[in-house]
Amino acid sequence: MTQTTASTCCYCGVGCGVLIEHDGEKILGVQGDPAHPANFGKLCSKGSTLHLTGDLDARGLYPELRLGKGLARARTDWDGALEHAANQFAATIREHGPDSVAFYISGQLLTEDYYAFNKLARALVGTNNIDSNSRLCMSSAVVGYKRSLGADAPPCSYEDIEQTDCLLIAGSNMAYAHPILFRRLEAAKAQRPAMKIIVVDPRRTDTAELADLHLAILPGTDVALFHGLLHLLLWEGWIDPHFIEAHTQGFAELKTLVRDYTPASVAAMCGIAQDDLLRAAEWIGKAPSFLSLWCMGLNQSTAGSAKNSALINLHLATGQIGKPGAGPFSLTGQPNAMGGRETGSLSNLLPGHREAANPEHRGEVAGYWGVDSLPETPGLTAIELFEAVRDGRIKALWIACTNPAQSLPDQTRVREALAACPFVVVQEAFFTTETCAYADLLLPAASWGEKDGTVTNSERRISHVRRAVPAPAEARADWAITCDFARRLERQLRPGMPSLFDFDGPQAVFAEFVPLTASRDLDYSGLSHALLDAQGPQQWPFPTGARQGTPRLYADGRFPTADGRARFIAEAYRAPKERREQRYPLTLNTGRLRDQWHGMSRTGTAARLFGHVEEALLSLNPDDLRLRGLHDGDLARVHSRRGSLVVPVQADSNLRAGQAYLPMHWGDRFLKGLGTNVLTLPAFDPLSKQPELKHAGIDVEKVELPWQFFALVEGDVQQRFTALRPLFESFAYASLSLTGRERPAVLIKAASAEPPDAELLTRIDVLLGVDQGPVLAYDDPRRAVGKRVRIEQGRIVSLRLAGETAARDWLKNLWSEGKADSELRRWLLAPLSTPPGSASTAKAGKTLCNCLNVSEGAVCAGIARGLDLDGLKRELKCGTSCGSCVPEIKRLLAQQPVAIPA
Ligand SMILES: Nc1nc2c(c(=O)[nH]1)N[C@H]1C(S)=C(S)[C@@H](COP(=O)(O)OP(=O)(O)OC[C@H]3O[C@@H](n4cnc5c(=O)[nH]c(N)nc54)[C@H](O)[C@@H]3O)O[C@H]1N2
Ligand SMILES: Nc1nc2c(c(=O)[nH]1)N[C@H]1C(S)=C(S)[C@@H](COP(=O)(O)OP(=O)(O)OC[C@H]3O[C@@H](n4cnc5c(=O)[nH]c(N)nc54)[C@H](O)[C@@H]3O)O[C@H]1N2
Ligand code: SF4
Ligand SMILES: [Mo]
């Protein structure tokens, strides 16, 4: 019988409520939860396909242990696994001290998981070496809020986005990264067109498409822009002297600094028109309410802290904070980035928004936990931590719920670190990730739909994440793994003492944690799992005795600083670390795609999520392509100071000349090489220690790889993928992904300078199922050209082109249409490689609307027939379900007349 469990989406920080449909064993479907205040029933393209992800063939099912470097891992049981881990950690700590071990965790853990890890590191091991992937994500926002406003608290609510008169979106592509919030914004803008939207992004994104003004600033110049805006606000008298006088400190110094940021100099530094700068200042200065949203375009920078504070300065100068439709509102990336900050799970923090460097704070937490003291030595932050692993200072590393061998910058060094580390534990839901390869101990974790706990979304709202089905095989919930390990380690490090980890469930972990927030800015000591179940998701603060949460902070103009005043921060503009220079004349920007999530461990299991973008493509301005003799689709070598990668290029006039864009999602699994982050730099912001993932100096050159390969094979996609991937190591270029909807298939494109040896090709053919059976084949060994198609029940089920791949798009279309006609047979048995004359050689084109399977070609044809957005929705049904494709359809409509991809 089908049951429904209310839970939350495991992807982004919007924190949408989902209703999981299941039969107690298997998840069958998902719907948006109409009662959840983040999404009111809506889901985006990722949330609405959650039930299609998580192929068991990709999941971790049993613990696996490697007993020595170079050996293979073997299946073990939990007892053996965790005893071994406890022995290794205890021995390392005894011999080399507590700071010789480290924990690297994740904003995708639940608050309870986070709390357990933090207590383990601080109270039991006695180290501050616990950091999370939030260091790559939110740490600049943490610094920005704390030093400008006194506490790490986004002061706004989602309603403010709907209510504001002027919205500044800086370095956020919320159309892709926070789609349901973007839907809410689109609806508000449609209802109240007078609301002004300004988007600051070097690229023309789908988000920029909704803006009244797009400021395509040069990468990294945000601080100059914000200071330039303040200069104009001052000049025009569009500030709030009363607010500045009554509630702030430090304005005089900032005023002196921004004097130099004249409109002419700022326009030149940022590469924008002076008129646009003036218009932005006027809209901000005259708006009854002014709100700003930002994300990684500000945070992931060597000036990330300065960018955050310079933006908050604008709100303080105009008094635009603490009232409806106003305030500086940082969008959080991961579903529980906030929970990590609340539980103090960054190396410099402690639970309840405390500081690890503050002796009083350490004393409070130590007292609460009943331990003598907490460690004083500052902990290492993500980049520093992996550097310490590499040079041998860290000898045992525990990684949970993050994939550093894909997501950290400068992969060559990260891989060296992981390979050198004597003992690496990886606690993972999917055993397919790049990091798993380095695990000496691999622990299977329960994942979305299988675990219970809480998360806090971008608007400080805490939701109860509920379990719908049991975890597969022996996978266990993270908090339980952590506490089980901790109890075993306790027996070695504090024998005979009462356990610090005696929890009988996640609600007990939560109950122990919340008193640590009491009397702190975030106080949610009034919350429990039971209260969340009775009253629904709540926004903190929610102190003991409160009846409801707090939608907006600082309404009274009092800030959580010693004197109650907010601080203006005066820091000059600093250029990104890698400026354009002769050898690396392009700036590489990296970020998200609409339908993929980070390293794609989950989204990469759903073939349809590759429908929008099928492979890694480096986007460049058409002029930069021309300059290098490159055409759309050509393979090119991209290199930075740290490494290089071969990928196809794509012309994109949404980028200005001198800039390149490569999605962050590709690691070593879906693309040969070490992925996007082989190119990026580990330089970080001096205060937040957040690395500059958005600006790396690169160059691009054409590569000649005349021997080309293309294959597609249906069925058992995870198993085939895993078996096939290693066979492509020797190719200069190889891209593996999934394709199809009802019949998922593995799709492979590869290229090399010379044909591979025949034996390798045979091994590939065996895995593709085109070595024998109902296979039509034509081989020309002289030219090293060959084509094979396997046909079952009149349909292509597998195909492979070697040497030359001119017919690949034609064949892929035949496969997806389920055709295997006489024309195909004739072509196959003839030496021709190009498709038959009558056949269309065109690409099927990308799927714009993933919910209803509508291609870009169909939308363009509809536009050519004169359909507008409503007409397209009516006739093709595109954009009528989750709405994630609507911005792109609007963009096509705006580009009329369109070229129709046939
Ligand atoms: N589909 C999808 N959604 C996601 C995620 C995902 O993997 N996939 N991940 C989630 C996570 S963890 C995060 S942190 C968020 C990230 O959400 P976003 O930050 O919105 O996403 P990004 O694409 O990383 O970067 C946003 C924009 O910053 C711009 N940018 C680059 N450099 C600069 C600059 O110097 N100044 C300015 N103003 N802009 C710049 C880029 O061009 C890009 O369009 O997304 C969350 N949501
Ligand atoms: N070039 C470039 N690099 C970037 C960025 C960028 O913009 N550009 N963005 C950075 C940012 S903002 C972020 S947040 C990081 C994200 O980087 P990662 O944290 O590496 O991203 P994920 O792939 O989401 O890793 C989460 C892992 O946890 C596993 N998992 C899922 N659910 C569970 C669970 O319940 N328990 C356990 N134990 N495991 C689980 C998943 O399978 C996955 O492998 O990437 C950063 N890297
Ligand atoms: S916007 Fe999409 S990805 Fe983000 S929480 Fe909602 S459904 Fe999930
Ligand atoms: Mo993130």
* Amino acid 466: pLDDT: 98
Pocket of ligand 3 (CB under 6 A): 9, 11-12, 14-16, 39, 43-44, 46-47, 178-180
Residue nearest to atom 10 of ligand 1 (CA): 333
C-alpha 689 – ligand 4 centre gap (Å): 14
Q: State both tokens at 811.
A: 């064949």
Q: Which helix (H) or strand (E) holds 89?
A: helix 78-96
Residue nearest to atom 28 of ligand 2 (CA): 401
Q: Which helix (H) or strand (E) holds 342?
A: helix 337-342
* Amino acid 735: pLDDT: 98
Peptide linkage before 541 cis (omega within 30 of 0): yes
* Amino acid 837: pLDDT: 66
Ligand 1 atom with the smallest distance to the CA of 176 is 1
Q: State the virtual CA torsion across 110, 115, 117, 123 in degrees, nearest 10.
A: 180
- 197-203 mean pLDDT: 98
- Strand runs labelled E in 93-222: 101-105, 130-132, 166-170, 196-200, 213-215
Ligand 2 atom with the smallest distance to the CA of 106 is 19
Pocket flag, ligand 2, residue 539 (CB < 6 Å): no
Mutate which of 386, 411, 664, 718 to test ligand 2's pocket (most atoms within 8 Å of Cβ)? 664
Pocket flag, ligand 2, residue 588 (CB < 6 Å): no
Query: Is residue 633 pLDDT above 50, yes or no?
Result: yes
- Neighbour count for residue 371 (Cβ, 10 Å): 17
What is the rounded distance in angstroms from the CA atom of residue 760 to the CA atom of residue 477? 41
Query: Is residue 571 pLDDT above 50, yes or no?
Result: yes
CATH number of 847-894: 1.10.10.1100
Ligand 1 atom with the smallest distance to the CA of 172 is 20
What is the rounded distance in angstroms from the CA atom of residue 604 to the CA atom of residue 670? 9
| Closest to 172 (Cα-Cα) out of 292, 15, 337 | 292
Q: Which helix (H) or strand (E) holds 147?
A: helix 139-149
Give 586-682's CATH code, choosing from 2.60.40.10, 2.40.40.20, 2.30.110.10, 2.30.38.10: 2.40.40.20
Q: State the virtual CA torsion across 385, 388, 390, 395 in degrees, nearest 10.
A: -100
- The ligand that comes nearest to the alpha carbon of residue 448 is 2
For the segment 635-659, what is each residue's pLDDT rounded down to a tens digit?
999 999 999 999 999 999 999 999 9
Query: Is residue 358 pLDDT above 50, yes or no?
Result: yes
* Amino acid 127: pLDDT: 98
What is the rounded distance in angstroms from the CA atom of residue 32 to the CA atom of residue 38? 10
Query: Is residue 371 pLDDT above 80, yes or no?
Result: yes
Residue nearest to atom 39 of ligand 2 (CA): 401
Place of tokens 């696996």: 64
C-alpha 599 – ligand 2 centre gap (Å): 6
C-alpha 849 – ligand 1 centre gap (Å): 21
Pocket flag, ligand 2, residue 406 (CB < 6 Å): yes
Asked if the domains at 3-52 and 847-894 fall in one CATH topology, the answer is: no
| Closest to 137 (Cα-Cα) out of 573, 558, 592, 507 | 592
- For domain 64-137+336-539, the CATH architecture is 3-Layer(aba) Sandwich (3.40)
Query: Is residue 448 pLDDT above 70, yes or no?
Result: yes
| Closest to 123 (Cα-Cα) out of 103, 96, 143 | 103
* Amino acid 70: pLDDT: 84
For the segment 138-186, what is each residue's pLDDT rounded down to a tens digit?
999 999 999 999 999 999 999 999 999 999 999 999 999 999 999 999 9
For the segment 809-861, what is each residue's pLDDT rounded down to a tens digit?
999 999 999 888 888 888 888 887 788 765 555 555 789 999 999 999 899 99
Give 3-52's CATH code, choosing from 3.40.50.300, 1.10.3720.10, 3.30.200.210, 1.10.10.10: 3.30.200.210
What is the rounded distance in angstroms from the CA atom of residue 657 to the CA atom of residue 648? 18
* Amino acid 898: pLDDT: 57
Where helices occur in 498-562 by DSSP H, the ranges are 506-513, 529-535
C-alpha 135 – ligand 3 centre gap (Å): 22
Q: Which is more confidently placed, 525 or 902?
A: 525
Residue nearest to atom 33 of ligand 1 (CA): 297
The rounded mean pLDDT for the chain is: 96
Residue nearest to atom 9 of ligand 1 (CA): 333
| 101-110, 242-251, 401-410, 827-836: least confident range | 827-836
Pocket of ligand 1 (CB under 6 A): 12, 46, 137, 170-174, 176-177, 200-203, 205, 219-220, 222, 295-297, 333-334, 589, 591-592, 594, 596-598, 694
Ligand 2 atom with the smallest distance to the CA of 443 is 38
Delimit the domains of the chain by residue range. Answer: 3-52, 64-137+336-539, 139-330, 586-682, 707-841, 847-894
- The ligand that comes nearest to the alpha carbon of residue 333 is 1
C-alpha 121 – ligand 2 centre gap (Å): 21
| 426-435, 447-456, 801-810: least confident range | 801-810
C-alpha 592 – ligand 4 centre gap (Å): 10
What is the rounded distance in angstroms from the CA atom of residue 588 to the CA atom of residue 680? 8
C-alpha 657 – ligand 2 centre gap (Å): 31
Q: State both tokens at 695.
A: 């600006």
| CATH 3.40.228.10 assigned to 139-330 | yes
Give the gyration radius of the chain's Cα atoms.
27
Cα separation values, 402 from 133, 211, 534, 591, 819, Å: 7, 34, 32, 17, 42
Residue 117's SS3 state is: helix
* Amino acid 902: pLDDT: 44
C-alpha 588 – ligand 1 centre gap (Å): 14
User: Three-state SS across 248-302?
Assistant: EECHHHHHHHHCCCCHHHHHHHHCCCHHHHHHHHHHHHHCCCEEEEECHHHHCCC
Residue nearest to atom 6 of ligand 3 (CA): 16
C-alpha 841 – ligand 1 centre gap (Å): 35
